């Protein structure tokens, strides 16, 4: 292939040349600038520490609470709840998505019910959930699992429904049946959509957990923030909020990395 | 320079030099197919000899693709019977392979992985490498389909179809989406492979020149049946664009338009 042709193929396939090194730092410029301005404004007395503590104070609090082990304890509890909820809700969503994507009968049986439940905001169930489960782990697990379930269910179902029928026909013509067809064509074909569901699910996972922990818990990041509010320890409140942002971003970054590995065949990921 | 000199065609190997029994026979009897009461094929009899290269031409909607899908077992006849080597098509297994208008490669498998789809009994790297070399794609084994050109993808699809050494290759307008030059190269490649491997080939195309260049026999399909049948005798290398072939082409086009 000539160079011109190669370039053409690459352009058609949506490839971009990789950015030079300094440009890779570009996404961090705005957050860094905000931190610097915030610190300066606090030091100059433009923002009262009782309204919004300075980044340096928050950092000091983070170091202190990490040293005492308190922070890691809350973090660990929250992460365990989040992952347990993701595993349960995501697992059920994935399984039902596949079942309903493959079997018409299964879809007829369950999809209408699921669509009905989907229209209830899951956080509206909090009063009921507290009555059912108290403020124990069951309540958090239930809410997170319910929140994560729908994006993963819907996107798995959508992914399987949208696998190229021509590829399925090819698979059948080449002697694939049931299990092989699913493993080699249906599942890989649905994977991009399943990843979209996973990333949506992760966002909902954190949101649900924060709300649930804020309303009813005796440990975890949300509890830590609510306790600090009671005693007006503002730097801990802000620290908790920043940690949520960092955890959300971490989860998203990990998923993206996983996505790039699993979908490296796709032109959309070819040059990352 | 005439185009035949840029794209030389291998001299056809006489059938008796071919490996014995390499090509499968196709036989259709009183074949009919209707879609929602609309008869596309009616009482069609067709016989394809082992090792023969048969082309089916006709107007759009004349049922040529339907006929191919019936031979492939991708569709079931409304009446009559069809068999490959006396077996129903869905039991022909890897004796029968089909190439579609689109390459239909798995985007998530490498080119080598895609060719391996054509193998029934597990992966066989040697067979895959051999098939890729025969379509001049040996250096693309580890590429993703998205990284190949249209012609290269269709060559990979050809390798996938031939890796199991089928007795019957069905071609459903496989070159229709390619540019004119790539199409000529592919035509030569397909005819070469056919002459070397000795499989039976059935090609559906709307390009009469392509049918004339490739086939031993051409049937014109229309009004549910066969309107015209033309055998093309090949002695030695055939020159594309020779007066004899041009005359055959004109005759077939007349038959299509008369329908």
Cβ of B146 within 8 Å of Cβ of A266? The answer is yes
| Rounded mean pLDDT, B194-200 | 91
In a domain, A152, yes or no: yes
Tell whether A42 is covered by a domain. no
For residue A179, being part of any structural domain is answered with yes
| Distance in Å, alpha carbon of B104 to nearest chain A alpha carbon | 6
Asked whether residue A31 is domain-assigned, the answer is no
Which chain A residue lies closest to B148 (C-alpha atoms)? A9
CA distances from A23 to A18, A19, A26, A29, A108 (A): 10, 6, 5, 10, 51
Q: Please give the pLDDT value at position A19.
A: 57
The residue with tokens 């029994």 is B21
pLDDT tens-digit map of A75-109: 999 999 999 999 999 999 999 999 999 999 999 99
Predicted ipTM of the assembly: 0.85
- Spatial distance between the Cα atoms of A220 and A226, rounded to a whole number of angstroms: 10
A21 belongs to a structural domain: no
Q: Do A184 and B117 touch (CB under 8 A)?
A: yes
Minimum distance, in Å, between the CA of residue A4 and any CA atom of chain B: 13
DSSP, residue by residue, A185-229: IIHHHHHHHHHHHHHHHHHHHHHHHHHHHHHS-SSSHHHHHHHHH
- Give percent above pLDDT 70 in chain B: 90
Domain with residues B3-258, CATH architecture: 3-Layer(aba) Sandwich (3.40)
Do the chains contact at A173 and B102, CB–CB below 8 Å?
no
Q: How confident is the model at residue B236 (pLDDT cuts 50, 70, 90)?
A: low
> Which letter does DSSP use for residue B165 in this model?
-
Q: What Cα–Cα distance (Å) separates residue B132 from each residue in B138, B177, B249?
A: 5, 21, 33
The secondary structure of residue B189, as a DSSP letter, is: H
A136 sits in which H/E element: none
Pairs from A166-173 (Cβ < 8 Å, separation ≥ 24)? A166/B100, A166/B102, A166/B104, A167/B104, A167/B106, A169/B74, A169/B104, A170/B100, A170/B104, A171/B117, A172/B74, A173/B72, A173/B73, A173/B74, A173/B98
Residue B151 and residue A11 in contact, taking contact as beta carbons nearer than 8 Å: no
Q: Is residue A231 part of a domain?
A: yes
Cβ of A117: how many Cβ atoms within 10 Å? 11
Map tokens 């082309």 to a residue. B55
**Chain B positions in Cβ-Cβ contact with residue A13 (cut-off 8 Å):** 146-147
B164 vs A contacts (CB less than 8 Å): none
B-interface mutation test, from A12, A164, A170, A267, most B Cβ less than 10 A away: A170
pLDDT, greater one: B16 or B118: B118
Interface of B with A (CB under 8 A): 72-74, 93-94, 97-98, 100, 102, 104, 106-109, 117-118, 120, 144-149, 160
Interface of A with B in 1-30 (CB under 8 A): 1, 5, 9, 13
Predicted confidence at residue A135, as pLDDT, reads 75
B108 to A188: CB separation less than 8 angstroms, yes or no: yes
Residue at A249 is within a domain = yes
- Give the range of the structural domain holding residue A132, as residue numbers without chain letter: 54-269
| CATH number, domain containing residue A265 | 1.10.3720.10
Query: Which residue in B104, B145, B149 is closest to A166 by CB distance?
Result: B104
pLDDT score of A272: 44
The position carrying tokens 């989907």 is A118
Q: Are B195 and B10 in contact (CB under 8 A)?
A: yes
DSSP string over B62-79? SSHHHHHHHHHTSS--SE
Task: Dump pLDDT digits (tens) for B209-227.
Answer: 999 989 999 999 988 889 9
In a domain, A45, yes or no: no
Which of B57, B113, B63 lies closest to B256, judged by CA?
B57
């Amino acid at each position: 292939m000539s160079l011109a042709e190669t370039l053409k193929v690459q352009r058609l396939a949506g490839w971009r040349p990789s950015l030079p090194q300094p440009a890779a730092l570009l996404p961090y410029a705005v957050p860094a600038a905000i931190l610097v301005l915030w610190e300066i404004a606090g030091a100059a007395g433009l923002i009262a520490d009782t309204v919004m503590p300075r980044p340096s104070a928050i950092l000091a609090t983070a170091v202190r609470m990490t040293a005492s082990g308190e922070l890691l304890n809350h973090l660990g509890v929250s992460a365990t709840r989040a992952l347990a909820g993701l595993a349960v809700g995501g697992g059920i969503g994935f399984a039902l998505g596949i079942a309903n994507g493959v079997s018409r009968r299964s879809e007829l049986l369950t999809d209408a019910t699921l669509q009905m439940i989907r229209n209830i905001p899951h956080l509206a169930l909090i009063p009921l959930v507290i009555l059912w489960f108290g403020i124990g782990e069951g309540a958090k697990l239930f809410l997170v699992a319910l929140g994560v379930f729908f994006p993963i269910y819907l996107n798995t179902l959508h992914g399987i429904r949208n696998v190229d029928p021509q590829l399925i026909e090819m698979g059948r013509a080449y002697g694939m049946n049931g299990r092989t067809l699913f493993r080699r064509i249906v599942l890989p074909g649905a994977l991009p959509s399943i990843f979209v569901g996973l990333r949506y699910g992760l966002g909902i996972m954190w949101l649900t957990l924060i709300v649930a922990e804020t309303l009813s818990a005796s440990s975890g990041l949300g509890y830590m923030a609510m306790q600090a509010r009671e005693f007006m320890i503002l730097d801990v409140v802000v620290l908790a909020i920043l940690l949520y942002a960092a955890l959300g971003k971490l989860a998203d970054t990990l998923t993206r990395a996983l996505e790039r590995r699993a979908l490296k065949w796709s032109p959309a990921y070819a040059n990352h | 320079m005439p185009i035949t000199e840029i794209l030389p065609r291998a001299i056809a190997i006489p059938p008796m030099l071919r490996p014995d029994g390499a090509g499968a026979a196709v036989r259709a009897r009183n074949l009919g197919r209707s879609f929602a009461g609309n008869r596309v094929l009616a009482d069609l009899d067709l016989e394809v000899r082992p090792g023969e290269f048969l082309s089916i031409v006709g107007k759009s909607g004349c049922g040529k693709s339907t006929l191919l899908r019936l031979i492939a077992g991708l569709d079931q006849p409304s009446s009559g019977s069809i068999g490959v080597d006396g077996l129903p098509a869905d039991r022909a297994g890897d004796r029968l392979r089909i190439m579609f208008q689109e390459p239909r490669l798995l985007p998530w498998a490498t080119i080598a992985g895609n060719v391996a789809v054509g193998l029934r009994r597990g992966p066989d790297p040697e067979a895959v490498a051999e098939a890729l070399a025969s379509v001049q794609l040996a250096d693309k084994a580890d590429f993703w389909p998205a990284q190949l050109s249209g012609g290269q993808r269709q060559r990979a699809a050809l390798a996938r179809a031939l890796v199991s050494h089928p007795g019957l290759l069905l071609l459903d307008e496989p070159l229709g989406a390619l540019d004119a030059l790539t199409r000529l190269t592919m035509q030569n490649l397909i005819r070469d492979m056919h002459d070397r491997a000795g499989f039976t080939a059935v090609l559906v195309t709307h390009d009469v020149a392509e049918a004339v260049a490739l086939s031993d026999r051409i049937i014109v399909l229309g009004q549910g049946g066969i309107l015209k049948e033309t055998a093309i005798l090949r002695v030695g290398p055939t020159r594309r664009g020779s007066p004899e072939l041009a005359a055959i082409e004109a005759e077939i086009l007349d038959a299509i338009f008369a329908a």
